[in-house]
Structure 1
Amino acid sequence: MGQSSSAASEGPHTQAVPPGCRTLDDVDIIPDEGVSPVSQRLLEGCIRRAFTHQDQLTQLIRQGADPGAIGGLRVRGATRPPLFRYSCLPFAIDCPSNYPFLYASGAYGSLMSVALPQWSSRQLQGDIINALIDGGAAVNAGGGEDLGVDRPIRAAVAAGNLTALQTLLARQANVRGFLAMELPHIHGAAPSATREYEAALILVYRRLAQHDSTLAAERFGGMNLVYSAALRPSAFSQQFIDAYLDLITSHGAEFAATDHSGGTPLHMAAACAFPCVADWLCRQLTAEDINRGKPNQPNETPLAAAAFVLDRFIRQDGEGQQRSRRIRECKTTIRTLLKGGAAPSTSRMPNATEEQRRRRQLVLSEYATVLNQLSEVVISAINAALAPQRDHSTLLARLLPLAPHHDGAHPHPSPSNMAFGPHEAEGIGWKIGAFLHEPSAAGAAIDEYLIFDTGLKRRVKAAVDHFVKSAATQTSGNREAVGETRYEQQGDKRVKVTVPPLQCFAIRAAGNGGQVVGVREVVHRARLDEAAQHGVVGVIKGFNEHLGDQDCQFEWGQLGRLLRTGLFVSLGID
């Protein structure tokens, strides 16, 4: 372990401080009671990255420094003892992505993330860690009876430091019995996780699973890793949470497990307002699991738990940023649950007291928001499906008039440019581009928004699918598909004319031959039915407001399409 570091003469690296973080200039190092002066020098040397060679550290140990010395960080001006304490080993671990994973205690019990300088090289960091262990530092110290003292292996995981993790594993660090693969504790004062930090964490978790494939299936204190993930603040992105939960469940973590009270990870994600975990769970669970109550509290569903938390934060005094953020997270979680299939839980929410009615109304208000936003999602889905056709048809419309042809009769030259009438090249390009439209892109956009396979989702997807197919193959151009406003000459006046989007749905009606409507009317009909089923008010139509809902009044069995012969064919949407 005595090899020289390749960066022995270099000092520590100081990187940009992430927003909201403290540096060593802002905190005091507080050693535990009984730490000797020489041990304090060792502790501070690890924290400040003062060693440029492992021999300097080894020399202090030979002088009597304890490599297991423990201390904490405290924001200057605060007086309480540090809540989190670390030994030399955790303090010696860098975060390669420069995301703070250590905390200093502040005033009134608050926690502030601290960004430490980094060692000049990974080699030096490894040499320092090995020198500490060789000098007697316990690789498995912390946790258990050492309340408030972090384990070195946990620090390596929280730092997303694969080099430190592999160094500790090589020195026989224990990884069992304390959920080594759980997400880091990121407290409210810490910044949101960066992409670099999330990528580093995934590499660390994969390495742990490779080291011991049974780690992901561990339970501790009555909960497993999925349950633990639901306890964490929403500092991580949806992409990261999806990757993390995919990884641990593929190695045995159960996503529908229950705790001692019968609560599930979805209950916990709802109660902790962690929408990313709720989103992932709703894509895996059955309708029964999503709307499950507890054994002795059948109405205590995840949706009810989320409503309780939102109501509590709304009724709190004050206008602080943290309160506002938590309210936003609670509302997002409720919307996620509703999009994920929890709407049936609204009928199970008690309605007897003012408090119960207030919480139920909070949920219904969020469902109105979900249904109102669906209109924009549908437009985006259609645009995604038709985008390749639009792009290529526009290009072809410009190129076709420039293309030479050789079938011109005398006296026209051969070759000569092709001649097109108004919008003719555009129409030809649109027909050719139809081979490139992507119906699956529309379905994927709807699936991303409406998570669970509900009646609302099936109706909307079927309507969008029919519209996209009709727009791509049965129209002469994008204008006909999406509608337009243009001016036409009528007599001696130019009149503004609004052409509605493609009306490709037929409504069969007795006696009058029926009517035709567009995708907006069909989607709004689906939204109205969903709102009526669950008692939601406030769904905004967003088009043809002067007609009210009159143009959206039909039964689903009446909805179909017309063939070129005029024959009505049902679309089979129920």
Structure 2
Amino acid sequence: MSASSSAGQQPQQPHPQPQQQEVKIEKVEALFPPNTSNATKRLVQGIMRRTITPDGIRQLVRKGADPRVCIDLITSRSDAAYRRRVCLLTLAIDDWSTPTALECAAVWLAIGGRLVLPLWPSRETQTGVLSALIQEGVGLNEPPTSPAPAARISTDWLKPKPIRVAVRAANLTALKTLVANGAALQGRQVALLPGGVRVTEQYEAALMAIYKHLVKLNPCLATEAAADGDWSVILRAASVGRVYSRAFIHGYLQLMMDNGASLTAPQQQPMFQPLQRAAVTSPYHVIEWLCQHLSPAHINTATAHWPFGAHQTPLGIAAIKVAVWQRQARSEQRDETESREAHGVVLAEYLTVLNDELPQAVMDGVNGALCPQRDAANMLTWLLPLARPAPPTTPTDTSTAAAAHAPAAPSPFALTDATAQVAWKIGAFLHEPEAVDTITLGQPVVAHRIKRAMQHFVKCAATKTAGNEEVIGGMANVGGRVVRVPLQCFAVREGPRVRRVGLREVVHRARLVEAARYGLTGVVKGFNTHLGNDDCQFGWGQLGWVNDIGLFKPLGIN
């Protein structure tokens, strides 16, 4: 039979209207218990077709319909029959997910089973139907009794609880109705992300509203593990694969962490840590978020055992996965070269980090630290010339009226070219050196060296210069070419003399050392290329600065 799919409706619509009221069932049979009365069958059919009203439910119950009835939804293939036992509350919940909660089992989809019900005419009707069923005795918190022993599979997902169906369906109206009527949240794992769902922007928005409402009702739901103790909300998010958008998954993880979810809680099986799991299932946005919130020690923790080999870090697992994909793309067999290929994948990606991401991160960190000072200096440069000293008063007349009519002296800043310099010095009180510490720069050794240099540069730029023009530098002849020379606040001691260098030379030196450490070639300098790398050749013990009286001071980088 053909009908309008509730999965295609938009959950944010205030009164979603189905195009048809006909049930869509493909390769699925609804089986009633033996000796089910006609009144009960009419009740079930009315709910599935969305043609019954709350008053109609009460009338059928008075005529002998059993609202506590459970039906088996059966899909079959040659070797087995698979059943899902559902109560009327579950059937009455509008479902916008694709596939729906009633058909989400992988075995159903493999067989081709479909069960998409139409929507109720309005949210108010749905609320009334759910409330009427509960008032007539449908259980809220007990799952339906187990399917018949003939079924090949009998697990919890075959007996979906109404509260979990409401969450997966992204149906906030149904969730609120169930909770208002006493549905339990604790112990139902309602904060776990659904897997195997095809999301839309509207579905994600509705699902996020569900989770915000849940943790508002009970923040402990964010720390609840699944019944087997293995699946926390974070681990579940790392296991669903590349399903959700970056904005949604980051918002969900942040919401759960803000309500107490742990990123590092030990699992019953050590190999199932969130970052390791994400490295296998490849949800890039989850990996990105976890790396921003885990310490380097946790990021580099190796598993005790893993199908890809013992003692693999998340990076090693991800690299092996990429190597496997590349080998499969070439239709080659897996052999002993896989580990070497995985190592090559990591190194190629790290070269991209050194060439692109690291220089940009340095620029972002410096600009973030100096931006408040620049903004304040720009504003003060315009405001200081408007300042006026208090008008003079005569010894004989100190009244306010006389002072108001006395001629005002011009602003001292209107008569000098030093206004911008004064504004810059005042703005220095607002610079934010801690912004340097918020950026991510990769491996600990190179990160320490570059951040130490950035801190020195920001301090000098903010407190030792006359303005932003001095920070960005002017044009000068360097090696026969006229180029821009930014602030040269570092010094390299070369015997009895010192050579001035800037932050970019120090950063490039750190990149060259890091590349040599891993045998990488192809680091792009990006400035003064006519000099090669000669201007960036020095030892870390040679690097320092010259103080106000001309003495060399080592920077202390090693």
Call closer, same or farther: CA 1:44–1:115 in 2, change over 3 Å: closer
Instruction: Provide, for residues 305-350 of structure 1, a one-character-per-residue CA deviation record: whole Å limited to 9, x for no partner.
Output: 21232234445569xxxxxxxxxxxxxxxxxxxxxxxxxxxxxxxx
Matches of 1:193 and 1:522, distance apart in 2: 48
Residue 476 (structure 2) pairs with residue 479 (structure 1)? no
Residue 415 (structure 2) pairs with residue 431 (structure 1)? no
Q: Which amino acid aligns with 2:529?
A: E
Q: Which amino acid aligns with 2:56?
A: Q
Partner of residue 227, structure 1: 235
Q: Which amino acid aligns with 2:54?
A: Q
Moved more, 514-523 or 141-150: 141-150
Matches of 1:43 and 1:484, distance apart in 2: 81
Instruction: Provide, for residues 158-196 of structure 1, a one-character-per-residue CA deviation record: whole Å limited to 9, x for no partner.
Output: 355566445545655455666443222253455586456
* 1:505 and 1:519 in contact (8 A); partners too: yes
Moved more, 277-286 or 529-538: 277-286
* 1:431 and 1:473 in contact (8 A); partners too: yes
Q: Which amino acid aligns with 1:131?
A: A
Partner of residue 143, structure 2: 141
Matches of 2:191 and 2:69, distance apart in 1: 24
Partner of residue 102, structure 1: 100
Give the one of 455, 460, 471 matched to 1:465: 455
Q: Which amino acid aligns with 2:236?
A: S
Matches of 2:513 and 2:117, distance apart in 1: 53
Residue 502 (structure 2) pairs with residue 500 (structure 1)? no
Any idea what SS the aligned residue of 1:508 has?
A: strand
Sequence identity (%): 34
Q: Which runs of 5+ in 2 are unaligned?
A: 1-5, 76-80, 147-153, 393-406
Any idea what SS the aligned residue of 1:399 has?
A: helix
Give the one of 508, 514, 526 matched to 1:530: 514
* 1:29 and 1:71 in contact (8 A); partners too: no
Matches of 1:534 and 1:397, distance apart in 2: 49
* 1:307 and 1:362 in contact (8 A); partners too: yes
1:110-509 to 2 correspondences below 5 Å: 117=119, 120-121=122-123, 124-139=125-140, 140-141=142-143, 145=155, 147-159=157-169, 164-165=174-175, 167-169=177-179, 173=183, 179-188=189-198, 190-191=200-201, 194=204, 197-210=207-220, 216-218=224-226, 220=228, 222-234=230-242, 235=244, 236-249=248-261, 255-259=265-269, 262-279=271-288, 281-282=290-291, 283-284=293-294, 287=297, 290-295=300-305, 297-315=309-327, 353-371=336-354, 372-404=356-388, 414-416=408-410, 424-444=418-438, 446=439, 449-450=440-441, 454-484=444-474, 498-509=483-494
Instruction: Provide, for residues 384-424 of structure 1, a one-character-per-residue CA deviation record: whole Å limited to 9, x for no partner.
Output: 2222221221122223344445799xxxx843365658963
Deviation at 1:542, TM superposition (A): 2.1
Any idea what SS the aligned residue of 2:240 has?
A: coil
Instruction: Provide, for residues 506-551 of structure 1, a one-character-per-residue CA deviation record: whole Å limited to 9, x for no partner.
Output: 222223x121222222222222333333344443222222223222
Call closer, same or farther: CA 1:88–1:370 in 2, change over 3 Å: farther
Call closer, same or farther: CA 1:353–1:47 in 2, change over 3 Å: same
Matches of 2:391 and 2:114, distance apart in 1: 78
Matches of 2:327 and 2:112, distance apart in 1: 22
Any idea what SS the aligned residue of 1:220 has?
A: coil
Any idea what SS the aligned residue of 1:270 has?
A: helix
Q: Which runs of 5+ in 1 are unaligned?
A: 1-11, 75-80, 319-350, 488-494
Residue 531 (structure 2) pairs with residue 547 (structure 1)? yes
Deviation at 1:201, TM superposition (A): 0.8
Moved more, 297-306 or 166-175: 166-175
Q: Which amino acid aligns with 2:281?
A: C
* 2:449 and 2:557 in contact (8 A); partners too: yes
Deviation at 1:116, TM superposition (A): 6.8
TM-score, normalising length: structure 2: 0.73
Matches of 1:168 and 1:99, distance apart in 2: 19
Residue 27 (structure 2) pairs with residue 33 (structure 1)? no
Partner of residue 521, structure 1: 505
Q: Which amino acid aligns with 2:345?
A: L
TM-score, normalising length: structure 1: 0.71
Matches of 2:282 and 2:115, distance apart in 1: 22
Matches of 1:115 and 1:392, distance apart in 2: 60
* 2:369 and 2:431 in contact (8 A); partners too: yes
Matches of 2:216 and 2:408, distance apart in 1: 66
Which one has the largest radius of gyration? 2
Call closer, same or farther: CA 1:43–1:224 in 2, change over 3 Å: same
Any idea what SS the aligned residue of 2:323 has?
A: helix
Instruction: Provide, for residues 441-490 of structure 1, a one-character-per-residue CA deviation record: whole Å limited to 9, x for no partner.
Output: 3322x1xx3478x2222222222222122111111211211235599xxx
Moved more, 271-280 or 366-375: 271-280
* 2:441 and 2:447 in contact (8 A); partners too: yes
* 2:85 and 2:160 in contact (8 A); partners too: yes
* 1:219 and 1:225 in contact (8 A); partners too: no
Deviation at 1:221, TM superposition (A): 6.7
Any idea what SS the aligned residue of 1:458 has?
A: helix
* 1:262 and 1:295 in contact (8 A); partners too: yes
Matches of 2:375 and 2:115, distance apart in 1: 48
